[in-house]
Amino acid sequence: MDEKKTALHEDEWFDLMPVEKRLIGYSLGLGVGLLVILVWVSHTMM
């Protein structure tokens, strides 16, 4: 039982592929960009 638990724990974390890193970067960039646009629009409408 303990060996199985240790094997599962070792496989739990692994490095991200370059495509996944790029997707995360694009998602964060898009989210921050849209947030900036939302704040700018809300300030100009007032």
3-26 residue pLDDT tens: 666 555 666 788 999 999 999 999
pLDDT of residue 17: 95
Alpha-carbon distance of 46 to 40, in angstroms, equals 10
Residue 33 pLDDT > 70: yes
How many C-beta atoms surround the C-beta of residue 22 within 10 A?
11
Residue 27 pLDDT > 70: yes
| Cβ-proximal residues to 24 (8 Å cutoff; 6+ apart), any chain | 16
pTM of the model: 0.63
Residue 1 pLDDT > 60: no
